[in-house]
Amino acid sequence: MNKVSQPVFKKKVSVRNISFTFDELYLMPAIIEVKNLTKQFKDVTAVNNLSFTVNAGDVYGFLGQNGAGKSTTIRMLLTLLQPTTGSIHIFNKNLQTNRKKILTQVGAIIEKPDLYKYLTAFQNLFFFAKISGVKVLENKIMEQLEMVGLSERAHSKVKTFSQGMKQRLGIAVALIHDPELIILDEPTNGLDPQGIADVRNLIISLSKNFGKTVLVSSHLLTEIELIANRILIIDKGNKIVEGTSDELLDPAKTIVALNTLDNQSAKNKIVATQWGQYLQQSKNDTIILKFSKDRIPEFVNQLVQLNIEVLSVTPRHSLEDYFLSLTTANQHVEPVTV
């Protein structure tokens, strides 16, 4: 049984319609538990032996470049795709055998929010609420439209909406039945900067103020960095790394990219010293190490003593750089849990 790895809520929060104190929440089982999930499309392995856990109250960032397998994984979580192998448990129940029950508590946007263009925003929300099993009240629908800033366009047909408005309406549809788990696949796609900020604030609010568990995927890594408390990075269907954003962005684990005139020789010299333990990857153009940023001067001195001709030493601390450093290597990387 998994536990929430760090305090998320300081007040009482609602999970699955029950109020929990932090201590109780701390002991809550995982909301999503994915084990050894694989999806094969003929000769292509879109997702390969993926395992991860999303705990109650998490804003779980699901990162990867285009084609990394994010959407395939999310589609399996939402029963759009059948896994080739592996298991998915949501709310501690097997998804395959409890699909209907589980989906009553899940709201989702998958890639772009395609809604019925010939219906109005109100009609879309009304019917999706009904088929989600929610008692439909006009004021609740209007509240939802108000929340996403579309109340004035409630009775306009969706075909007259901009991409951003459709995206916001898609979020309203995902939330209309007050789900405990919200799965958002690239929710900021097609939004302008203000729209992106609005969605970001909404996700944070859903987690902090309403105790929702959110799984959000994106290739906009800076977005995930700002909202997620736990992050999974996948590449070519493989899990690269999973951990809390604090751990991944820990200044004590700054990524340092070193370029020299002869990287191969430099690497050999570094391995022979204490700095060798911090070595992560070595490629023709860059040597990647991971250590505290404060130790960079000490490291540079060591390089000078070793007669290594340095071209650059670049500290990287954003998740995006970290992500790129892990995924641009055109090789299989063993998964790491930070």
Partner 1 sequence: MWNLLQFELFKIFKKPRTYIAFGAIAAIILLIQIALLTNGKEYVKFMLSSLDDTLDIPYDQIRNGYWIGFAILNLLLIHVPILVALVAGDMVAGEANMGTLRLLITKPISRTNLLLTKFFACVIYTFILVVWTAFLCLVVSVLLFGTNDLVISKEFELLQIEKTDVLWRYIAAFGFGTVGLIVVASLSFLLSVLSDNSIGPIVATVAIIIVFTIMSEMQIPIYDKTVKPYLFTTHMLGWKGFFYIDSDVDGQTIKGSIQHFSSIMKSFAILIGYIFLFVSSAIIIFKKKDILS
CB neighbour class for 136 (10 Å; exposed up to 12, middle 13-18, buried from 19): middle
Q: Are the C-beta atoms of residues 262 and 309 closer than 8 Å to each other? A: yes
Tokens representing residue 39 in the block: 């999806």
Cβ distance to partner 1 smaller for residue 47 or 319:
47
Cβ distance to partner 1 smaller for residue 115 or 257:
115
Interaction of residue 101 with partner 1, rule CB under 8 A:
yes
- Starting at the edge strand found earlier in the chain, the sheet holding 254-260 runs 279-282, 287-291, 254-260, 310-316
Interaction of residue 132 with partner 1, rule CB under 8 A:
yes
182 closest CA partner among 75, 90, 108: 108
Choice from 7, 27, 36, 99 touching partner 1 (CB under 8 A) = 99
**Tokens 């306009």 -> residue:** 156
Interaction of residue 116 with partner 1, rule CB under 8 A:
yes
Interaction of residue 159 with partner 1, rule CB under 8 A:
no
Amino acid sitting at position 79? T
Q: How far is the CB of 109 from partner 1 (least distance, A)?
A: 8
Interaction of residue 78 with partner 1, rule CB under 8 A:
yes
Q: How far is the CB of 327 from partner 1 (least distance, A)?
A: 24
Residues in the chain: 338
Count residues near partner 1 (CB under 8 A).
31
Q: Which are the contacts of 19, defined by CB distance < 8 A and separation ≥ 6? A: 12, 13
Which of these segments, 4-12, 13-21, 130-138, 247-255, binds partner 1 (CB under 8 A)?
A: 130-138
Cβ distance to partner 1 smaller for residue 116 or 210:
116
Q: How far is the CB of 155 from partner 1 (least distance, A)?
A: 14
Interaction of residue 18 with partner 1, rule CB under 8 A:
no
Bridge-based pairing of strands 106-109 and 181-185 is parallel
Interaction of residue 17 with partner 1, rule CB under 8 A:
no
Phi, psi of 123, deg, nearest 5 = -65, -40
Which of these segments, 13-21, 128-136, 241-249, 284-292, binds partner 1 (CB under 8 A)?
A: 128-136
169 closest CA partner among 137, 197, 144: 144
**Residues at the site binding partner 1, with contacts judged by CB under 8 A:** 75, 78-82, 99-101, 103-104, 106, 108, 110-119, 123, 127-128, 130-133, 173
